[in-house]
Chains A and B, each alone.
Chain A
Amino acid sequence: MDAALIPEGVKRCSFPKFMLGIAIVGAVLLWGVYAMLLCWFKGLNQTNMNDYYGFALWIWADLAVIAIGGGAFFTGLLKYIFKIDELKNIINFAVIIGFICYSSALLILAIDIGQPLRGWFIFWHANVHSMLTEVAFCLSCYFAVLTIEFIPNILENRQLNKVPFFHHLAHNMHGTMAIFAATGAFLSFFHQGSLGGVAGVLYGRPFAFREGLLIWPWTFFLFTWSAAAFGPCFTLLVTRITEAVAGKKLVKDNVVHLLAKISGWMIVTYIIAKIIDTIYWATVTAPGLGFKMSHFYTNNGFYGYWILIAEIIVCGVIPGLLLINKTTRENPTLRLVAITLGVIGVCLNRWVMVLQVVAVPVMPFDTWALYIPSWQEVATTILPVAYGIILIAVTYRYLPVFPQEVELNQPTAQES
């Protein structure tokens, strides 16, 4: 039915089957859209946020998707700047994932602010001292870059490619992609960092506050580094999932191993820095303000020490080690475990840096604040996931996302 659109030489499931899948995910999407409209028209009283939890699930989701979307800029950096050519076989997909993550982030921000129609004030009346301003600018610029990086892949669709203009456009854009990759990397470095700065500069919140370099608190660098480290994990994870769903191999192992290895080393270096930062904060920064480390953790189950161990050891050290070690890295199961843990780890880190920051009492007579998101918050947070799945499904079906797919899935003798 839609055969004309499907790339040459590849197999795709029947159109009805495809549509069925889309419909199921689409239902979830609509649920999210409904919740989104509620928040826009009835206001943020639809959420369970309050004056203690000014930042909550949504801001976490923002930081998380941007972190795991970091695979795009980092892979791009490696491919186009460091000329690691194998990565061209996964770069398209990395870009698509990045595109999904960043567009989601922007959408969630648009729901999160109390006055969406004034959202543009952040650009028009920008306060240059605010980390959030930096985030907003870099975020939108980098989103533009991602779109540009995504376009040629779209233009490679069989029908579009027939139009000579589009064909040449795609070709030339590929040529200039290095420039965009460089810009993207530069922008990402800043907004990933600024997101870390968002928490790090809060000198009224001893749990978040960090000293740093010039105007940038240590969290600035930690966030950039962690995004570069764990972003590829997410790229690999989604690739693995796509392969599972499509029931065929899409990227050659050497490519996967390479990316996994790079990611592994990044994680290890990051986690070392993170551990140093944590120790310094716990023994120097916080005590200097009169806070024992135990003040920041409680036995209420939400914010116990377990969260610290889970983030640093279980989802940091372990995946790092698994990925730098050749045998474990090349064992599919262990690799899957590692990249999954990695993705969880970075999300956990963002969670802590958003929610625990506001949960911890600062005034001695204040109390711990707990928070359970409302269904509207959950739905609007799942919305981008559904949207992502649909976009991946569509692009995978109609675009030559995986250059190695044809080669990896040659029809065997019996079939022909």
Chain B
Amino acid sequence: MKVDRRSFLGLGLGAVAGIAISPVGAKLTDDLSIWTQNWPWTPVPPDGEITYDHSVCSLCPGTCGITVRKIDGRPVKVEGRDTYPVNNGGACLHGIAGLQYLYDPSRVRTPLRKINTRFVPVSWEDALSLVADRLGELREKQTPEALACITDTDQGSVAGLFKHFMAAFGSPNLLTMPDLESWLAKAAETLHGSGHTLGFDLDHADFVLSFGAGLIDGWGSPVACFKAVAGRKQRDAKLIQFEPRLSNTAAAADKWIPVNPGTEADLALAMCGVLLRENLFEPEFADGFKGGFMRFNAMVQEKYPVEAVADLTGVPAVIIEETAIAFAKAKMPVALPGKGRGDGAQSLKEFAAVHTLNCLVGNINKKGGTFVRQNTDYLDFPYPVQDAVARKGMAAPRQAASVQELTARINQSGESELKVLMVYNANPCYSLNDPSSIRTAFEKIPFKVCFSSFMDETAMVSDVILPISTFLERMEDVPSKAGFAGSVVGLAKPVVNPVFDTRSPGDAVIQIARALGGTLSQSFGWRNYEACLEEVAAGIWDDLIRQGYAVLLNPFPAEPVTTDFAFLAENPETIQPAGEYEFTLIPIDNIGITTTVPASSPFAIKTVSDRIIKGQDMFVEINPQTASGLKDGGFVTLTTPAGSARVRVDFNDGIMPGVIGMVKGLGHRFDNKYVAGKGVNVNDLISPVIEPGSGTDAAFGVKAGISRA
């Protein structure tokens, strides 16, 4: 017997036959397909009990109420909170994508300290004592004013704690970023005296005259504005939009009137002229006029004749007249200042001029009108305990009125007078014009502390980063602002334990003060931030706890309003786009792209059109009529006095000939591939121009040249 080919054949055949009539084949075929249905690398979300938490979103000045759906305590969805007095259900895309910020790739996960250009993780204790030591030195040297602090806003108890800290420490150099609220406050202060701010009753107004305000492009409290704009049909209200381009707001408006960029103030003043000439201003309210009303009248008649302004603005004289008259004759007219989101570089002259229209028609503190009200201060901080050092420091002159004034000053001086800088929830090294100059100024400040949730451009240049819990991980009072008619304070509650080793900014400030000891720890006697909040917001605490918010002012302010025209009567100069080029470059606000803190979430970026971002490149809008020699979608080099950038062009019939529109909020340079590294930061192309009246950058646009690249 000899083993040959046939034997092996038998072996093989036998094996095959044996397997064939066993379950192996059938079972494996089925199981293999089931395996593909349950690939171990495809996540399976655990199921559990569904619960809902109410809170408030503080991603933007909108302050919408949110409801967070949770599964066994794990947040899975953010939605607008029904019956919340700001947004009444509904939410914007950034709020809905809020959960993505919890696990954002650029989250700062632990306190960091910079040791020669590299960040190393340190414990909270080390980080805090490090900061306290540097601050302590300033007080020992009797130079507390060498500390400066930049916060995103001056509203709410966290900003309040920083203010409290600066006062107790002894430095007047507390600055806030230029957001819409700050501009409205400036305008209100200029015309109605300090301590005032403005709100607009858009839900009832029947004639809204918007000077570039992007009502549905992110202006004010976005969701509230969306509702107001969308609800126009029912209460047949009109929206007239003056703007150099067909923004979403202009597209949704009843009438879009293109206006040359940077001439909005002149347009408003010309309209004031028309109202005064035609005696269309409201006599009763006019009783409150003082401070050079006559001079103002004379000035506008002389300096802003309709014909001349028509040439300047590109708006036909007849349209100016008609619109002004229609505005005056409307039952509940409101004029809105603040181009785009109304933050960043704006112009006090423009805000004042536009608001003057409101004053002239006298639809002030009435239903469907403009609310001029005291800053609703629901917070009652105890007076800080100050020692001699602190008093001396507070007596010292304030270094600057705005961040850009400050950085300009530092860049001029050989050595920075400031020794320590604290930045809270702001990204000046990205979101202000000419951020590179701000970075260089910051480099000259020996020690910078950044209270931030994300490793953004500003965090990267600082020496210590204190990681802050996001709005979903901590408690905070969130007051409505940014032109919202009502006055609501919401309570943001932690819906999830901090994902990383982060703390509430309030706690961080208190702990720093404690570490400094002396009068500072006396001024900060609270156990922790929550205890502090409960104490300083005692007046509304019950409401906050019971319903998650408190309504401060209902329905609208009653106190009489006086109006002072002195500022405008002097006819301050209008800041025009600087430079010698043929085009005017203006920044565009896009609802899907955030321009301050934090940067957009992956979901938000995903909604952005491929006519704004394509791969790593961004598009700029240009009217085909003035795009000779260029081709749609082609690459161009955009040149301004401040610099140049390589972008692609998007032929767009919705933008004025001669104007180039460039979206704000792109060109981030930090470690987050979902948002960073896409496009160019338009701020890099614009140099700040400080407006005398406000001491703040008012360079909204800039002259630009464009050539094929």
Contacts and interface: CB of A to CB of B under 8 A. Distances in A.
Interface string B9-33: 0000000000000000000010011
B35 interface: yes
Interface stretch (A93-101, A115-123, A185-193, A223-231): A115-123
A115 B29 contact: no
Interface centre among B29, B33, B36, B37 (most CB of A within 10 A): B33
Interface in B106-153: none
B444 to A, nearest CB: 48
Contacts of A117: 32-33, 35-36
Interface in A114-152: 115, 117-118, 120-121
B36 A120 contact: no
A118 B29 contact: no
A121 B35 CA distance: 14
Interface in B395-436: none
B38 to A, nearest CB: 12
Nearest to B32: A117
Nearest to B33: A118
Contacts of B35: 117
Contacts of B36: 115, 117-118
Nearest to A118: B33
A120 B31 CA distance: 13
Interface residues of A, number: 5
Interface string B469-492: 000000000000000000000000
A118 B33 CA distance: 5
A121 B34 CA distance: 11
A115 B35 CA distance: 11
Interface in A189-218: none
Interface in A74-96: none
Contacts of A118: 33, 36-37
B439 to A, nearest CB: 39
A115 B37 CA distance: 9
B345 to A, nearest CB: 36
Contacts of B29: 120
Contacts of A121: 33
A117 B34 CA distance: 9
Interface centre among A115, A117, A120 (most CB of B within 10 A): A117
Nearest to A120: B29
Nearest to B31: A117
Nearest to B36: A117
A135 B611 CA distance: 41
A31 to B, nearest CB: 27
A120 B32 CA distance: 11
Contacts of B33: 115, 117-118, 120-121
Contacts of A115: 33, 36
Contacts of A120: 29, 33
Interface in B508-544: none
Nearest to A115: B36
A112 to B, nearest CB: 16
A118 B37 CA distance: 9
A117 B33 CA distance: 5
A51 to B, nearest CB: 13
A282 B310 CA distance: 54
A120 B35 CA distance: 14
12 contacts: A115-B33, A115-B36, A117-B32, A117-B33, A117-B35, A117-B36, A118-B33, A118-B36, A118-B37, A120-B29, A120-B33, A121-B33
Given A117-B36, A118-B37, A121-B33, 4 more contacts: A115-B33, A115-B36, A117-B35, A118-B36
* Minimum-distance CB pairs A-B, first 5: A118-B33, A117-B36, A117-B32, A117-B33, A115-B36
